[in-house]
Structures are given as C-alpha cells and as structure tokens.
Amino acid sequence: MQERIRNIAIIAHVDHGKTTLVDAMLKHAGVFRENEAITERVMDSNDLEKERGITILAKNLSVHHGRYKINIVDTPGHADFGGEVERVLKMVDSVLLLVDALDGPMPQTRFVLKKSLDLGLKPIVVINKIDRPGSRPDEVVDMVFDLFCELNATDEQLDFPIVYTSAKLGFAKLDLNSDSNSMEPLFAVIESNVHPPAGDSKAPFQLLVTNIDYNDYIGRIATGRIFNGRVKAGETVALVRRDGSIERGRITKLLGYEGLKQVEIPEACTGDIVTVAGFDDVGIGETLAAADNPVALPYVSIDEPTISMNFIVNSSPFAGREGKFVTSRNIRERLDRELRTNVSLRVEDTANADTFKVSGRGELHLSILIENMRREGFEMAVSKPEVILRVIDGTKMEPMEYLVVDVPSEFQGAIIEKMGPRKGEMTSLQPMGETVRLEFVVPARGLIGLRGELLTETRGTAVMTHTFHDYAPYKGDIPGRKNGVLIAMELGETTAYALDALQPRGILFIGPGVEVYGGMIIGQHAKDNDLDVNPCKGKKLTNVRASGSDDAIKLTPPRILTLEQALEFIDDDELVEVTPQSIRLRKKELDPNKRKRK
C-alpha cells in the first residue's frame, strides 16, 4: 500500500487557481456523481472563505486514480496565512507549484517555494490559466527557472517537470501544442515524479500532528501523517508533548479521506494522512507514538509574527448591547482556543487585566480572527496594528516587506511618489504591455493604510501584494494620517439636518438615524485637526416659513468602512469597536476635556 500512496500539496500565490485546480482534479477522478450539484471552489468551506474567494485554512482530501491513492492538501495563498503552508509541507513528499501564465511568479510564490526547497522537496511546476488572454507561458517558465536559481535550488530540484493547465476549463498538457481535454497528463506526472512516502512500516508507530479540529460528536480530533509503523482503531498509543511529557490513551476513532469525506477505517499504514480522535488535549507539532516506544518527531519551526494589536474589553456607552460574550474571561478563553489551531498567533497578557496583546503575521491574519469572533457573538475594542521591533546585536531592527504593485503605466509616478515618505526602496520596474510591475522593499509600518491610498490614486486599478522579506535597521519615522477626524459631542441619534451642515467639513462615515455617543468618530475632517461636532442637532421649528431654508436636504452617501479599512484608518489614540452588528470608530479617551489635557 505504501508504494501506491502519493502525498502532494498545492502551493501558489493568491488567486493563481489552487482551489479551482483541486476542483478539476476531483471531477477527473470521478469523486462527484454524474448528476451531483457541485459548488465552485468546493474546498473553500467556511463562510469567510466563500465570501472573500480566498483560502484561509489548509485542507486535506484524497483521490483514487488507477492503482494510486493521491492525498492532496490545498493551501492558502496569502502571506498572512503562511503558517498554514509551513506546517502542511511537513506532511507531503512533493508540491505542485502553481504559477499564473500571465502574472508569473509573485511574492508569495517566492515565499512558499523557498519553504518547500529548504525542506528538500522536489516541486512540479504547473503553469495555470493558459487560456487567459495575454498569457505568456514560455516567458513564465523562464521566470520560474530564474526564481529557482535565486533560491539556490539543487540540480535535482532545477530539473522540474512542467505541466500546462487551465483549471477552469479542466484540461492539462505536457506540451502547449498537444491536444488534451482532460487532467490525465497532470495525474501521470504526479504518479511518475512523486516518490512514495519514506518510512519503515515495520518500525514503531509515529504520527506528527499538523492540524487540529473539533467535532461535536467525538471531541477534539488531530490530523497528521504517519511517518513510521501502522496503527489500528482502538489501539493504545502515547502522546509525546512538546515539553517531553508523555500521556497514554486509546484511539477511539481512526478516520481516513475518501474524496472530500472523512470515513472510518480499521487500520492505516506508513505514509497515510489520517485523523485520530481520543486525546482531549493534543496540540499541533506533538507526536502520537507507539505506547511501548514513544519517540517524538522533529517539528518544522514557524516564522515569528510581525504585527501586534491590543484586544480590549469594550468600555463604550453601547457596551453589551449587541454581543453575547463581552467579558475579559470570554475573550481570553476564545483566544486560548484559537492558539491551539492557529500556529502563527501569539497572545500575551498586559499590565491591564482587560487588555490582551495579540500578535500575528499581518493585518489580514488578525482581521480574519476578529471577523470570526464577531460572528460568534463577541464584542470588544481593538487598537491600531503595530509592528514588532527587535534588537539584534544592539541595533534596533524592524520587519521589512517585499511589495509588488501592478498598475497601468500612467499611474506609476503616483505610486513611486507615495512610497517615498513610507521609506520604500524600489528594486525593479518591469513593463508588462499596458501595465507596469513595480517592486519595493518597504518597512511593514509603511504598508498600514497603503492599500486604500493606492486604490484612490489609481482609480481602483492597482493590484498590490506583499510578503515578509527580512529584518533591517529601523528606518526612522513614517508620517501617519494627514487628516483629523469629526467626533460626536453627545449621546443621541443623528439627524439629516445636522449632517447636512457637517458635510462641507469632511467625509462622513454614518448616515441619519444612527445612534452615536460622545467621543465616537463619525467622519474624516478635511483639515489636519480633530473637530468636536454635534450630529444630533434638530431644526428649531417656528410658525414662520422662509423661502430657501425649507429645501429638501440632499446628503452624500456616507463612506461605510469595512473592518480592514477601519483598522488601517485609526490613529494611535483611537480604537475600533467591534460587535456582531456594528463596526464603530472611537477615541480611546471619550471625554473631550481629558482628551485635550492629554
């Protein structure tokens, strides 16, 4: 059986078509019935993944093709979820490196490829979207080869097989000129180029836990790959923890993968990816081993977080109105639960019992956690994201990001101008037809709030992606937000009459009929200072009619901020109040007199 198993992960930059390729492979392998209704991107199973069209969590499935069983792991493409990719690579023997036939290698392609080359994996290069207008597969193959050379790939890794695919149309080719209307060539390349899993089936049992989940019926379940030996359901095994302590327990359920479904299996052997139930307190990176010979497996180290944020118990006048879980105990328990599965996250206590310092890989990483918490009924306030500085050999160092911006050539000057004050250094400028690709190395601090500005400057045409580059000496101060804010003075409900008078002062974030409180931010001021205003003022009614002043009020639609936009907008003395129904901006100090004193 071990000889017939192939374990692969699909890695790529965001939006290069990983999950769509998995769909095509599942269809070709006959996992779906003839008349079965199939959703697009079937692996993106949770609500946030479906809404945003991105993969957040790595997921497993397996397909049978001829005499082979192929275990496939679909991974995220965003740099913020790099921790998911890093731990998954430990389970597989090869990777499909997916590259868009028009875009070519992007920042995250470099990041995930480097991780897989460092582990000694030999990638299979898949050039996807060859049906896309303007695609340039031959050029992209050369760019991929250059990237392999840059990352110091071995001669064996440089001798990579190439497959050309259109995941959307469901075909793969080994040669651009050949006729093919199925994914068969891709399966053939996987079967011939991926080694069977290494390991000794007669040695004592060892399984490395790389994923944790919870099932309402059987409790905590751990997924991982069997590196040595075999295991049966009902067997007693040992759990070797990170600190070296050992706990024995019985495997109550042993689950394998058939297509997308988990099915109970009586026994599993070396090389298989399985899910095990029976241990209430198992963590990622721990080892399940034979009870009579418990030996731990080495675990891949995960890159450290680069950005932190404070999660604070909500203290606004509206606290507790909309959320079910509002106390520090609730928030702490939820963060502890997240730590068990989210390997890139760190949570620290602070001097204040109501504040927790949460560190992650980027704004998106932390905002997805906040979004999940608010959907579960949590209510809290969060502070502005801050980068994590380090002192190395007496020098203050800060994280740098590798930024790539694709933009129409007419806007390239505006982009370069924006990067100057943010201490960005341009490393490359490549014309790509009507667009230009600009590459920068920029401090992580300089990226906070950048996306919104770039989209405004380029009329929504800029595409920006970034990934962690390295730590470098501190670059000095970066100017923050230029504009001040409009702050409500009192508790009440906004009126159209008051907002009409405030419109010339700046951009409003709320419309009429919205409840506000003193200290809540209701808009962006046109000047650089903060302004206290009264958005709840009603019109004084008299018996006298005046021509002109009774005209119908015309309000400009307010700018409604999403969670990410709110986090990018706020300054150091401001918070985002997050509840299941609302996202509000507020000053840390609500009292205007105390605020002025500070």
The mean-pLDDT minimum among 1-10, 39-48, 156-165, 288-297 falls in: 39-48
Using the predicted structure, report yes or no on whether residue 33 has a pLDDT greater than 60: no
Mean pLDDT confidence for 128-153: 86
CATH of 485-597, one of 2.60.40.10, 1.20.1260.10, 3.40.50.720, 2.40.50.250: 2.40.50.250
pLDDT of the residue at 520: 93
Give 366-404 pLDDT, tens digit per residue: 888 898 898 889 999 999 988 888 888 888 888 888 888
- E strand intervals along 133-250: 162-166, 171-173, 206-215, 219-228, 231-232, 236-240, 246-250
pLDDT band at 39 (very low <50, low <70, confident <90, very high): very low
pLDDT of the residue at 42: 47
Using the predicted structure, report yes or no on whether residue 56 has a pLDDT greater than 70: no
**Which is it for the CA torsion 115, 121, 126, 128, positive or negative?**
negative
pLDDT of the residue at 295: 82
Q: Say if residue 159 carries a ligand binding annotation.
A: no
Mean pLDDT confidence for 227-256: 83
Average pLDDT, the chain: 82
pLDDT of the residue at 209: 83
Q: Higher pLDDT residue, 59 or 111? A: 111
pLDDT band at 83 (very low <50, low <70, confident <90, very high): low
The mean-pLDDT minimum among 451-455, 517-521, 560-564 falls in: 451-455
Are the CB atoms for 242 and 300 separated by under 8 Å?
no
Q: Say if residue 15 carries a ligand binding annotation.
A: yes
Using the predicted structure, report yes or no on whether residue 165 has a pLDDT greater than 80: yes
Q: Higher pLDDT residue, 84 or 442? A: 442
Give 495-514 pLDDT, tens digit per residue: 988 998 899 999 999 999 99
Using the predicted structure, report yes or no on whether residue 44 has a pLDDT greater than 50: no
Give 192-207 pLDDT, tens digit per residue: 888 887 877 788 888 8
| Annotation: CATH topology of 2-193 | Rossmann fold (3.40.50)
Q: In which element (H, E) is residue 426 found?
A: strand 425-432
Q: Say if residue 130 carries a ligand binding annotation.
A: yes
Q: Say if residue 529 carries a ligand binding annotation.
A: no
Give 582-591 pLDDT, tens digit per residue: 999 999 998 8
Mean pLDDT confidence for 296-306: 74
Residues 6+ apart with CB under 8 A from 364: 78, 80, 81, 564
The hierarchical CATH code for the domain 206-290 is 2.40.30.10
Q: Would you list the DSSP string of 492-512?
A: EE--HHHHHHHGGGEEES--T
Using the predicted structure, report yes or no on whether residue 577 has a pLDDT greater than 70: yes
* pTM given for the model: 0.76
**Backbone phi and psi for residue 156, each to the nearest 5 degrees, phi listed first:** -65, -40
Per domain, the residue ranges of the chain are: 2-193, 206-290, 390-473, 485-597
Q: Say if residue 572 carries a ligand binding annotation.
A: no
| Annotation: CATH topology of 390-473 | Alpha-Beta Plaits (3.30.70)
Using the predicted structure, report yes or no on whether residue 73 has a pLDDT greater than 60: yes
- Of 127, 115, 112, nearest in space to 16 by CA: 127
> How far, in Å, CA of 145 to CA of 160, rounded?
9
Mean pLDDT confidence for 339-361: 85
Using the predicted structure, report yes or no on whether residue 182 has a pLDDT greater than 50: yes
> How far, in Å, CA of 16 to CA of 109, rounded?
10
Are the CB atoms for 458 and 415 separated by under 8 Å?
yes
Which of 13-22, 143-152, 539-548 reaches the highest mean pLDDT?
Answer: 143-152
Give 416-459 pLDDT, tens digit per residue: 888 888 888 988 888 877 888 888 999 988 888 788 788 888 88
Output Rg (C-alpha) for the chain, integer angstroms.
Answer: 27
Mean pLDDT confidence for 331-344: 83
Q: Which two tokens stand for residue 93?
A: 């023997």
Using the predicted structure, report yes or no on whether residue 327 has a pLDDT greater than 70: yes
> How far, in Å, CA of 479 to CA of 446, rounded?
9
Q: Say if residue 17 carries a ligand binding annotation.
A: yes
- The amino acid present at 128, given as its one-letter code, is N
pLDDT of the residue at 548: 61
Q: Say if residue 131 carries a ligand binding annotation.
A: yes
pLDDT band at 486 (very low <50, low <70, confident <90, very high): very high
pLDDT of the residue at 578: 92
> How far, in Å, CA of 376 to CA of 322, rounded?
12
> How far, in Å, CA of 133 to CA of 125, rounded?
21
Mean pLDDT confidence for 328-332: 91
pLDDT of the residue at 43: 47
Q: Say if residue 128 carries a ligand binding annotation.
A: yes
pLDDT of the residue at 90: 77
Q: Which two tokens stand for residue 30?
A: 């006959």
Q: Which two tokens stand for residue 152?
A: 């110091």
pLDDT of the residue at 461: 82
